[in-house]
Amino acid sequence: MVAEQSFVRIIDAFVDALDLKQFNFTYFALNKEGRPPFHPSALLKLYLYGYKNGIRSCRKLEHACHTNIEIMWLINEQKPHFKTIANFRKDNTQAFRNVFRHFVYILKEWKLIEGKTIAIDSFKIRAQNSLKNNFNQRKITRHLKYIDDKIAEYETALDKEPPSDEVKILNDKINYNNQKKANYQQVEQQLKQSGDGQISTTDPDAKAVIFQRNSVKVGYNIQAASDAKHKLLIACDTGDVNDTKALSVMVDVVAKNIATKNFDVIADKGYHSGREIKYCEEKQIDTYISPKESSSTKKNPQYAMSAFSYNQTNDTYTCPQNQTLTTNGRWYNKNLSNGRKSYQVKHYKTKACSDCPVKNQCTKSVRGRYIERTEFQEYIESNNNRVNKNPDYYRTRQQIIEHQFGTLKRHWHFDYCLLKGKQKVLAEVAIIFSIYNLKRITSILGFKETMAKIKAIFHQIHQILKTTTIINHHIVINN
């Protein structure tokens, strides 16, 4: 009843080829009474199959164990309770990530991952936290003002000495609003302590992020890295609401997963940050990140910053009118809001602006035009030069990384997470990334070759375990 080349057979062989003990999966303890615990391999197979087919809810997975022929075959007609299924996913978050990392290592051993060109991008998924339970200072202030106005309204009504039955109602409303006010003040205190610009009360790690068509929802910005050779996913992470500070983190995760230090990174302009580019260059990693144009460049490209040539020897700029902009050599600290890191800049000016015939085209400032050069400018220019010299190489980014997101979100319905907290959400990402890679290599190698390679791993592990058992046996006899 299960086709000879059904993908479910690949899942079965893949999990059987894993030594689950090394990943620290939780083995459910057997109580004094009750049935024996389910083996982690059965539940791991169940989740891999479920995420591949858009069945992620523990209750739906429980139902599938009773009705789905392939699942019955896959887990030997076992029928775990939905709570057992849910706890397995909740209690083994790190183990799922370890399986994904191990699978990436196997793919590198099979030479399906080259590790020379890595594309990094992100996609957003909704969290288990509604937008009304996400707060920033502006929203809290608005709520507090509304509550204060209502309390003042009720107190004014009390001053008019209403009937005794209305007095009790008004006092109850005042007490109720005072309690709401105290709750919002507590959330405001938590917001200040967090040092972030927002806070979510249901899932503290979730953030309000911008989805398609500028709609704001509470969710996670999932970072993903893909190898250029066969477009296999090799790393994942999640952090801030945008990609500005994600590059250095992802580079370290990629280097750890594929055990490679030198590689090229391709990313879109959302990752264009001088601090992050500097970090990569210090790691001897070449970046190809789309240059980020300033708003002034779009409005008046003739007098954009790129039109001002920099003289590194003299530390000066020359404007399009052939005037020299100089600096006093002092570094100024530029502080940023919302927890963003500050950086240092130099200012370059010229007195020639006062008599310049094109001043109104160059700047609207009364004091004249000045150039702000950051401490990371040389790294930014180095990256921009690489992109401009190799435009075709940069354009491969979309082919390497973006099509996976369509498969995960549109076909496999991975556009929301079921768990709360960063680590648990990353466990879900690890599950679906693992099954994507497994499906992908089956398409690349074919069913028979994929099965043969997986079985070779199984026999290799079996031989190691057998040898270890024999050695331990001889040690016991000798003792």
Q: What is the pLDDT of residues 52-105, one digit of tens each?
A: 999 999 999 999 999 999 999 999 999 999 999 999 999 999 999 999 999 999
pLDDT per position as a tens digit, 326-365: 988 888 887 766 556 788 889 998 888 888 888 888 888 8
Average pLDDT across the chain, whole number: 89
Tokens representing residue 389 in the block: 């010299």
pLDDT of residue 31: 62
- Compute the distance between CA of residue 67 and CA of residue 69 in angstroms, rounded to an integer: 6
Q: Does the pLDDT at position 206 exceed 90?
A: yes
Segment 440-449 shows an average pLDDT of 96
pLDDT tier at 10 (50, 70, 90 boundaries)? very high
For residue 427, give every residue at least 6 positions away whose Cβ sits within 8 Å of its Cβ, in sequence order, or none: 89, 92, 93, 94, 96, 97, 419
Burial of 343 (0-12, 13-18, 19+ CB in 10 A): middle
pLDDT of residue 220: 95
pLDDT of residue 470: 44
pLDDT of residue 334: 79
- In terms of average pLDDT, the best of 207-221, 287-301, 365-379, 431-445 is 431-445
Q: What percent of the chain has pLDDT over 90?
A: 64
Bin 46: left if φ > 0, else alpha if -120 < ψ < 50, else beta: alpha
- SS3 category, 189: helix
How many CB atoms are closer than 10 A to CB 111?
9
- Compute the distance between CA of residue 97 and CA of residue 440 in angstroms, rounded to an integer: 19
Query: CA torsion sign, 272 to 335 to 191 to 152?
Result: negative
Q: Does the pLDDT at position 28 exceed 80?
A: no
pLDDT tier at 432 (50, 70, 90 boundaries)? very high
Segment 315-333 shows an average pLDDT of 89
Segment 413-442 shows an average pLDDT of 96
Q: Does the pLDDT at position 177 exceed 90?
A: yes
DSSP state of 322: S
pLDDT of residue 357: 87
Question: How close are the terminal C-alpha atoms of the chain, in Å?
Answer: 52
- Letter for the amino acid at 50? G
Q: Does the pLDDT at position 413 exceed 60?
A: yes
Would the pTM of this model clear 0.85, i.e. be above it? yes
DSSP state of 315: T
Higher pLDDT, 101 or 292: 101
Q: Does the pLDDT at position 478 exceed 80?
A: no
pLDDT of residue 71: 97
Q: Does the pLDDT at position 473 exceed 50?
A: no
Q: Does the pLDDT at position 471 exceed 80?
A: no
Of 182-191, 334-343, 352-361, 384-393, give the lowest mean pLDDT range: 334-343
Angle subtended at Cα 63 by Cα 61 and Cα 66, rounded to the nearest 5 degrees: 115
Of 111-125, 137-151, 265-279, 318-332, give the lowest mean pLDDT range: 318-332
Higher pLDDT, 233 or 197: 233
Higher pLDDT, 303 or 256: 256
Of 144-148, 265-269, 456-460, give the lowest mean pLDDT range: 456-460
